Chain A
Amino acid sequence: MMKNTLCCLSFTVLLMTVPVQAQQVNIGIEQFERWIFQNVSNAEQARMTLASAIELEIARIEQVTPLLEPQKERLRLAGQGDIKRFYDRVERARQEFRELEGNVDQNNIGKIHAITVPLSQDIQKGLFGSKSLFKKVVLTTVNEQQAVTMRAEEKRQQRVRMENAIKVFIAQTGRQMPLTAIQRESLLKLAMDDLDHVEAKGIYATYLMTYRLSELPREKFQAIFDEAQMKAFDKTLRQPRAMKAALVQQGLLDDE
C-alpha cells in the first residue's frame, strides 16, 4: 500500500514538473513493469518468486496437516494456474501500454499508471488468497480428516484474532480516555463474555467486534465507567454504529 502511495505521489510530482510545452514523457516498458512488480525488479524475477511462493503455501498447509505427494502436485498445478492467469493480465496490460508507448504525455500518463495499479496491488497481496484457484483446489484436494484439522485450525486463529481485536479496542480506548486496571478488566470480561460468537477477518474483525459492543445495553457500561468517561465512550461507540452498512454489505451482519 505504501509503495502504491509512493508511486502515486511520484506521478503527481512528475505531472507538476513537466512544463506545459513539453508534452512528451519518456516512459519505457521497463518502467511500466517496475510499476507493476514494485520491489521485484522485473517480470521474470517475479515469476521465479511466485513459483517459490507456491511451495511456501504448501509448506504452510503442511504445518497444519501433512499432505500426500499427489495432493501437493495438484496444488502446484493450481498455483501455476493462478500465476498464469496473472501473467495473462500482465500481457494484456503490456499490449495496452504498447498502444500508447512513444505517445505518452501528461494527459495519458495517469491512464498508463491506472493500468498497473490493480496488478501491483494483487502481487503485493499475493496470488494465492481466498479467491485463488489454489485455495479452491485446496478445498477439493484434502480428505475429510485433513479438512476437519484445517477447519479447527482456522477456527482457533479466528478466536485469537477476535480476542486480540477486543484487547486492541480496550487498549485504544485507554489512549482516548483514562482507564484504571479494574475498569479495563471489567470491560475485557464484558466483551469476551458477550462477543464469543463474532467471526470476521482483518479490519472487519475490529469493526464487527466494536459494532456488537455498541449494541450491548448501555447500563452494562455505566456500571464500569464514571459519567465523564461514559460520555466519551458514547462517542467511541457512535463510530462502529456507522459501520453497519459496510458490515451488512460484507455479509457479516444481517440487514435487520
Chain B
Amino acid sequence: MWLRWFTVFLIGLLAPSFLYAQEKTARNVRNAVFLALEDVQQKNDVPEFLKPLINLELSFIKRVCDPSDDQMTAMVKEAENVIGVMSDIVGVPGQVRMGGDVGALFRGPNQEQLVGNPFHRVRTEMAIFVKPILTAEQYDRYFEESKQRDEFEREVAVGIAVELLDSKLVLTSEQRTQLTDKLMQGWKQVDFQWLQSYQNNPQYLPTMPSDLIEPILTSTQKKLWNAVNRTRVTLHVYMGNANSFGLEEEWIK
C-alpha cells in the first residue's frame, strides 16, 4: 500500500510542470511517471506474463512437429529456462526506444516497457531451446511453419500500413503494389498489432520508414505525406493477461 501512495506522491510532485508543459516536456514527464510506476512493479524479475506466450509456442510445436511424449516432456522442462533467459525483456523505464528499423513498442500487463517484440523473442528463444530435442526433420518442419507464420503476420502489418497510407494519400494500384513490395523487403520489425491500433485511431499515423515510402510518391502525395506525417503519435501494444489466451494447454504453470 505504501508503495502505491509513494507512487501517487511522486506523480504529484511532477504535476505542476506536467500541467504547463509543452508536448516535449509532457513526454519527458510521462516517462518519469512510468519510471516511478515501473520501479514499483519491477520488483518481480520473472516476467510471468510471458508464460502464456511460451505455452502457446509449445502448443504450436506440438501441432506442427507431432513430438513423442518424451520429447514433449523434455521441451516443457527446457521451456522453464526460457523465462529466465528472457528476464531482460523488461527494459529500463524511459530508455526503451524504437530501433533504427522502426518497430513497435510493447508494454506488459502492468505497464512494463518491453525491449523488442515479445512474440518474436519467445519464438526465437524457444527455437534455440527445443532444437536439440527435436529430430532434424521435426525441426525443419517447425522452422518452416514458424517462418510462414512470421511472414503472414508481416504481410498483415504491411497490408495495414498500405491501407493507412492509401486512406491519406490515395495511391494508385501500381503504387500499392510497389509499396507492399518495398515494405515487405525493408520493414522487418513491423508488427500487425501495433499498426492495428492506428486503424482504430485514423487521425494518427505511425512512424514509418520514409526512405521506403517517399520515392514511390508523386509530388502531390509527398505534400500530403509531409502534412500527415506531422501528426505521428506513438501508440503502444499492451500485452493482455493470461486469460486472453484461449487454449487450455498450460504446459508450464
Interface set of A (CB-CB < 8 Å, partner B): 1-3, 6, 9-11, 13-14, 16-17, 31, 38-39, 41, 52-53, 56, 59-60, 62-64, 124-126, 153, 157, 160-161, 163-164, 167-168, 170-172, 174-181, 184, 202-203, 226, 228-229, 231-233, 235-236
Bound-complex Cα distance A126 to B168 (A): 12
Bound-complex Cα distance A161 to B248 (A): 32
Q: A62 to chain B: which residues have CB within 8 Å? A: 220
Instruction: Give the Cβ gap from A101 to chain B, nearest Cβ, in Å.
Output: 16
Which of A13, A171, A226, A229 is in CB contact (< 8 Å) with B19? Answer: A13
Which of B12, B15, B170 is in CB contact (< 8 Å) with A63? Answer: B170
**Judging by beta carbons under 8 Å apart, are B247 and A10 in contact?**
no
B125 on the A face (CB < 8 A) = no
For the residues of B in contact with A, the DSSP-based class is helix
Instruction: Give the Cβ gap from B166 to chain A, nearest Cβ, in Å.
Output: 7
Which of A10, A124, A153 is in CB contact (< 8 Å) with B170? Answer: A153
For the residues of A in contact with B, the DSSP-based class is helix
Q: B167 to chain A: which residues have CB within 8 Å? A: 157
- Closest chain A residue to B220, Cβ basis: A59
Instruction: Give the Cβ gap from B140 to chain A, nearest Cβ, in Å.
Output: 14
- Closest chain A residue to B176, Cβ basis: A160
**Judging by beta carbons under 8 Å apart, are B63 and A180 in contact?**
yes
User: Number of B residues contacting the other chain (C-beta, 8 Å)?
Assistant: 59
**Judging by beta carbons under 8 Å apart, are A177 and B18 in contact?**
no
B221 on the A face (CB < 8 A) = yes
List which B216-247 residues lie within 8 A (CB) of chain A. 220-221, 223-224, 227, 233, 235, 244-247
Q: B8 to chain A: which residues have CB within 8 Å? A: 16
Answer whether A178 and B60 are a contact pair too, CB < 8 Å, given A16-B8, A232-B247.
Answer: yes
29 pairs across A/B with beta carbons < 8 Å?
A: A2-B233, A6-B30, A10-B15, A13-B11, A13-B18, A13-B19, A14-B15, A17-B16, A31-B19, A38-B23, A56-B224, A60-B170, A60-B224, A63-B224, A126-B203, A157-B163, A160-B159, A168-B156, A171-B152, A172-B196, A177-B59, A180-B63, A180-B145, A181-B145, A181-B148, A228-B248, A229-B247, A232-B247, A236-B246
